[in-house]
Amino acid sequence: MEKVSIIEVSPRDGLQNDPVFIPTVKKSKLIYLLAEAGINHIEASSFVHPMKVPQMADAEEVIKSCAVLNDIEITALIPNVKGFERATKFPINEVNWVTAATETFNQRNIGISIEDNFKEFTKLKDKIDQTKMKMCFSIAVSFGCPYEGNVNPDVVLKLVERAVEAGADRIGIADTIGIADPEQTFRLLSRVLEVTGKTPVAIHLHDTRGLGLTNAYAAFNAGVRIFETSASGIGGCPFAPGAAGNLATEDLVYMFNRMSIDTGINFERLLEAADYAASLSSKTPLGRIRQVVRKKII
């Protein structure tokens, strides 16, 4: 049976943009429910400055609470070297370094140029190699930018190539504003996979225009086997005006279940986690299949 891996991002990307601070204990409960559903890779928080993303001000406490989870890979997003230094004090398996495919978004999101950001990444990779952590190199706005519009795929591919050469353990391709279409997704991911070799590639999809699931299917057909999703479809980027939530984990799992593709996730337990995720968010969840099941729609 064909298998795929799902990285759950609701505790970080799903909650980061919520204007109402969510208590640490509730964030931790969400992580535990996701783990109980069989999700074995969770992006739990982000070591960003609390002034920039107040929702992530309790990153240390959230990550500490993950220490009781056995056999669960915990990822934390880091925007810079200082974030990495904070992360090394806690039980983390992977750090997620983020750059952008456009200069304007990189400046708004991180505050430096793409080139300076990459130099920081290469310096940090040497430090990472002295730890047991892995490092993902994620590229935001890979399909389109809220400030610069269309993105040249060659820019994304060059960043991927450089990151692989620098030793990234995983590559993340993100449709941060949910602008991609299936044909565009298939073309870009096919080219990305040609240059990554054995380095794993994940796709991170937002569902702003309702094409998240079709883009996931297009990425699967291109050869992608790792998907970053959010329970109940909550989420959004503070630096991408108007961007909606992520592709809902339960929608993707439902599709793969129908296709007899193994996710390793218990669908009923996942729905419980998605219910809880939806209850934490002050925004309307984007996930569809959860509502179909809960309302008993035929």
Whether the predicted pLDDT of 298 surpasses 60: no
Q: What would the pLDDT profile of 234-261 be if each residue is shown by its tens digit?
A: 987 766 666 668 999 999 999 999 999 9
Which tokens sit at 259? Answer: 């296709």
pLDDT at 291: 87
pLDDT band per the 50, 70, 90 thresholds, residue 273: very high
pTM: 0.96
* Domains and their CATH numbers in the chain: 5-294 (3.20.20.70)
pLDDT for residue 129 is more than 90: no
Average pLDDT score, the chain: 94
**Rounded CA separation 192/187 (Å):** 9
Interval 53-81 mean pLDDT: 95
pLDDT confidence of 283, banded at 50, 70, 90?
A: confident
Q: pLDDT band for 125, please (50, 70, 90 cuts).
A: confident
Catalytic residues: 237
> Minimum mean pLDDT among 16-20, 168-172, 249-253: which range?
16-20
For residue 297, name the pLDDT band (cuts at 50, 70, 90).
low
| pLDDT tens digit sequence for 256-268 | 999 999 999 999 9
| Selection from 95, 97, 91, 54 nearest residue 71 by Cα | 91
